[in-house]
Amino acid sequence: MQFPLPLAWPDQARDVEFLITESNRRAVQVLQQWQNWPVMAALLIGPASSGRSLLAQVFAAQSGGRVIDDAERVGEEMLFHAWNDAQATRVPLLLVAGAAAPVWTVELPDLRTRLAASPVALIDAPDEQLVRALLERGFARRRLDVRDNLLEWLVPRLPRRHQAVAQMLDGLEQAALSERRRVTIPLARDLLAVLFGVAEDSITP
């Protein structure tokens, strides 16, 4: 999916492209302040569906820097030379990955040392404010007919993962279209059980 690049850094929770709450605000600030990095390279760490690739695109557009997405899947020699090149040219480098060390196992000692010296912009698990905002935006984009009380019921019960929010939105949309069902609490309760293994009798009304 292609995203139009914002003309400036997103700075409000209602931004149409990248929603910001306390769970990701620090990551945005680290990228905004790239000129103050101790080295001309940084890591952007975030889980799937967290908007990390979009945020990296905004960084590249605003800083003129280079981005390597899914960096943990790229050859270590290439990353090593890219890191060194960023220092030589003073063009900032952003490495985007799902996890930092030690989860991201780096075998090359020289690269491991360089990554350890690089600042980290970390996107945390979504807080309740972000879950609510993502659901509201998802419902609006999908033009789903949603009962007013669904958000209040669903937000505290949905697993605190960006991907879980995306899965719930996709599931609700598919059920609404294929089964001609209105998006209601009973439908969401069914999907919580199917998607995340939550026993229906443990989901309070």
What pLDDT score does 205 carry? 53
Strand order in the sheet with 41-45: 66-68, 93-97, 41-45, 120-122
- Distance CA(120)–CA(205), nearest Å, equals 41
What pLDDT score does 160 carry? 94
Q: What is the pLDDT of residues 108-135, one digit of tens each?
A: 999 999 999 999 999 999 999 999 999 9
Q: Assess whether the previous peptide bond of 102 is cis (omega < 30° from 0).
A: yes
Neighbours of 113 (CB within 10 A): 12
CA dihedral 84, 89, 90, 91 (to 10 degrees): -90
For tokens 């780096």, what's the residue? 106
Give Cβ neighbours of residue 28 (< 8 Å, ≥ 6 apart).
Answer: 9, 10, 18, 20, 55, 121
DSSP strands (E only) in the chain: 41-45, 66-68, 93-97, 120-122
Confidence band (pLDDT; 50, 70, 90) for 179?
A: confident
What pLDDT score does 194 carry? 92
What pLDDT score does 131 carry? 95
Q: What is the pLDDT of residues 145-175, one digit of tens each?
A: 888 799 999 999 999 999 999 999 999 999 8
- Percent of the chain surpassing pLDDT 70: 88
Give Cβ neighbours of residue 34 (< 8 Å, ≥ 6 apart).
Answer: 42, 59, 63, 65, 92
Domain limits, the chain: 25-122, 128-202
Tokens of residue 22, six digits: 């306390």
Range from 8-22, 41-55, 185-199 that averages highest in pLDDT: 41-55
- Percent of the chain surpassing pLDDT 90: 71
Average pLDDT over residues 39-48: 96
Of 1.25.10, 1.20.140, 1.10.8, 1.10.10, which CATH number belongs to 128-202? 1.10.8
Give Cβ neighbours of residue 99 (< 8 Å, ≥ 6 apart).
Answer: 45, 72
- The closest of 102, 91, 170, 99 to 138, measured between CA atoms, is 170
Give Cβ neighbours of residue 101 (< 8 Å, ≥ 6 apart).
Answer: 112, 115, 116
- CATH top-level class for 25-122? alpha beta
DSSP strands (E only) in 11-146: 41-45, 66-68, 93-97, 120-122
What pLDDT score does 11 carry? 59
